[in-house]
A and B are shown apart, each in its own frame.
Chain A
Amino acid sequence: MFDFLEGYDLLGAFWVTVKLTVYSALGSLLWGTLLAGMRVGPVPLMRGFGTAYVNIVRNIPLTVIIVFSSLGLFQTLQVTLGGGDDFEVINFRLAVLSLALYTAAFVCEALRSGINTVPTGQAEAARALGLSFTQVLRLVILPQAFRSVVNPLANVLIALTKNTTVAAAIGVAEAAFLMKDMIEAEAQLILISAIFAFGFICLTLPTGLLLGWVSKKVAVKR
């Protein structure tokens, strides 16, 4: 029944999916936090930028963003992100970049709602101690905000894992890319779909459960 799997690097493809997920998760966490900082910060221009960024990026399909990064950045502007001449490396990095830029908008919004859950007294006390804005954010607010948004962030991470499938549009050889290949070559459509669905469940369910447990562990009791 599973004979047709021969010759396909199933694990390799899912490994690319995992790598895409991990790198872009880190990137989006960093950029999303910066964006959230901008959106609640004292400089009006940065606040405006943060808001505009989130509203624009959230409203464009990810496919468009990824194809844009390949067509615009790579094909037209010749930005290779240090990938040299190797298309595989360049495409992978471009996919990570676009996934991170896209997901950051959602991370930013999750964090903002997290910041909202921190009682005002915390910030007031921090300011009374003479901390500057960045210090207030870095030392007092964000650590608490992060603890309250582990769960929403976990959802964003799960969505990101699934969104990596879109990277197939620019030829990154991840799971969905392989799936399209297999569907074209083999007749077992339903079975192939089931295998890949199972693969994704293996990736996303443990993530959800683990982070759900973490969120309970670190939740701020108020």
Chain B
Amino acid sequence: MTASVLFDAQGPRAKRRNVLYTVVFLAALAAVVWWLYVSLDEKHQLDWVKWEPFFTSFQPWETYLWPGLLNTLKAAFFALLIALPLGALFGIGRLSDHRAVRVPSGILVEFFRAIPVLILMITANAAYSEFTDIASDVRPLYAVVTGLVLYNASVLAEIVRAGILSLPQGQTDAAKAIGMRKGQTMRYVLLPQSVTAMLPAIVSQIVVILKDTALGGAILTFPELLASVRPMSANYGANTIACFTIIALVYIAVNFALTSFASWLEARLRRGKKSTGAVVGTAPGAASKSSRLPRPSPRARPTPDGPSMIRPRGAPAHLPCPPPRVSVT
């Protein structure tokens, strides 16, 4: 039982009450699960024949799921590869001292953040077919990647900006004091330090990118993972619930692997580093607030590295309870 500052150490009565809550909650959960099981079974949705293709043969994996997953990963990978530097560029651009850089960056970021990715993808697809001669078999991929890049670069820009703003003013001051120019301060002092703070937010954004590739399948005939449900359920006798469940599990597995890898990476980066401990947990939000205020003093900022509500007291900052990640879906 971890100690939290939110409630007292539990005595016998509180422990009894806890057990009661646990039992009641468990009973409620079990009731829901039981109801689901019984009613799905009654409707023959749990019949082995509906699920059997996925467990007795490699064919559905080979023909539908694996190529779909590859396409999903491919689109997400390219989107991230392009969106990251673009995002960094615009994020830094928004922090620029020059109005001519700051304002356009700000407008672009706000504009693309406000439009649904789906619309961006559709427009990109139409524009590519009208104005370029990209081969038709790769155009859906291009369109999906473009839509994802436009949207996610603007979100990443906000993450980068928040990450840089989360560093103490002293860092900039010190850099100035030893005679660094603005570019140098950014390159050698601010960016390297803010990377750790940004990492969790970036990773949740990768998950968002991965999930959003599904929109490409819905409308652009981009053969990604979710789109594989159609030919699959058509072959196996409309076992839609089974198909969607399997696909959901694949998404969960991939995304979970991704987030776990990122936590590990983050823990590694943090270890042995005297960082400010700041985390851009709240992604773009933190930034848009500070953008309208003068640069916040270190004290005014959330300092998750300080005593925390959720973290067990005295535990190291990064281990048992990773900082919360909030992404924009």
Contacts and interface: CB of A to CB of B under 8 A. Distances in A.
Interface of A: 39-46, 49, 55-56, 58-64, 67-68, 71-72, 76-77, 102-103, 106, 109-110, 112-120, 123-124, 127, 132-133, 136-137, 141, 148-149, 151-156, 158-160, 162-163, 165-166, 169, 176, 179-180, 183, 189-190, 193-194, 196-197, 200-201, 204-205, 208, 212, 215-216, 219, 221-222
A201 B154 CA distance: 15
Given A40-B6, A113-B324, A133-B7, A62 B211 contact: yes
A176 B304 contact: no
A167 B159 CA distance: 28
A151 B289 contact: yes
> Is chain A's binding surface mostly helix, strand, loop or mixed?
helix
Contact of A113 (B126, B259, B288, B304): B304
B114 A204 contact: yes
Contacts of B85: none
Interface in B117-161: 117-119, 122-123, 126-127, 130
| Most-contacted residue by chain B among A119, A165, A193 (CB, 10 A) | A193
A125 B99 CA distance: 46
Interface string B238-256: 0011001001100110011
A136 B299 contact: no
A68 B84 CA distance: 33
Given A40-B6, A151-B282, A169-B218, A112 B324 contact: yes
Contacts of B113: 158, 204
B193 to A, nearest CB: 20
Contacts of A55: 256, 259
A40 to B, nearest CB: 5
B32 to A, nearest CB: 11
A64 B251 contact: yes
Interface in B7-58: 7-8, 10, 14, 18, 21-22, 25-26, 29, 36, 39-40, 43, 45
A106 B309 contact: no
B4 interface: yes
Given A123-B6, A204-B114, A60 B300 contact: no
Contacts of A160: 329
A116 B6 contact: no
B68 interface: no
Contacts of B1: 44
Given A110-B326, A169-B218, 18 more contacts: A41-B7, A42-B4, A49-B25, A55-B259, A60-B252, A76-B40, A116-B323, A151-B289, A154-B285, A162-B116, A165-B118, A193-B126, A200-B116, A208-B288, A212-B288, A212-B289, A219-B289, A222-B300
A46 B23 CA distance: 11
A117 B251 contact: no
Contact of B118 (A45, A176, A194, A215): A176
Contacts of A113: 281-282, 302, 304, 323-324, 326
Contacts of A166: 215
A141 B5 CA distance: 11
A120 B119 contact: no
A148 B302 CA distance: 9
Contacts of A112: 310, 324
Contacts of A137: 6
5 contacts: A64-B214, A115-B310, A116-B302, A116-B308, A215-B285
A13 B281 CA distance: 35
A183 B122 contact: yes
B5, B36, B240, B289 — which one has the most chain A CB atoms within 10 A of its CB? Answer: B5
B282 A152 contact: yes
Contact of B10 (A42, A114, A190): A42
A147 B208 CA distance: 26
B202 to A, nearest CB: 15
Most chain B CB inside 10 Å of its own CB: which residue of A40, A152, A221: A152
Nearest to B19: A43
